[in-house]
Amino acid sequence: MKTELERVAPMDIERRSFEIIASELQHPVDARLAPIILRVIHATADFDFADTLCFSNDALEKGLAAIRDGATIITDTTMAQAGINKRLLAKHGGSARCFVADEDVAEAARRNGTTRSVEAMKKAATLPGKKIFAIGNAPTALVQLYDMMQEGRVQPELVIGVPVGFVNVVQAKELILQTDAPYIVARGRKGGSNVAAAICNALIYLLGRA
């Protein structure tokens, strides 16, 4: 059997990918949220996200408004930070930050018997201005964020809770769903740094077209 390649110009690959995704969806998705859902599927080739991504009623509006106002996007991994389109984000006065590799964060984790992810969230909470938290890897980061929100130490404009894994991943996401904070959460075990970055980029690109 001969393998036939689809001839697609390089500049048309992404457009063609989104056409394929739209044609293979098993059911329609909310038109307002489709740019985010489809971009996550594009980043993962996993159609389960059409069903597992959960959005608070105000998630889209709050996320777009925060980016428009120059919010800082805080990630739990350098991979997610690297995947965010920082050039377009900077046009709105925003930046993407990750503290997990900082020496003071590592020292605090050793001193307190915690993880770098936990201490990175504590450090991020002290930043001035509006903040979006994009957690794609560490459920401990999401739990720490939840605890600080409950204590009134931080008030995120948006929580993107999409860590991947097995230990406390489902529980950490469910905690965020119980809060009043605007959220985009991938229920279940699936997620990842690429998912967190894809959601951030979808919001940035939406704002660019607004």
CA dist 82 and 35 (Å) reads 21
42 is catalytic: yes
- Number of CB atoms found within 10 A of residue 123's CB: 16
Catalytic residue among 33, 42, 106, 206: 42
Provide the 3-class DSSP secondary structure of residue 43.
helix
Which pairing describes strands 158-161 and 183-186: parallel, antiparallel, or unpaired? parallel
CA dist 8 and 104 (Å) reads 48
Please, are residues 88 and 147 in contact by the beta-carbon 8 Å criterion?
Answer: no
Catalytic residue IDs: 42
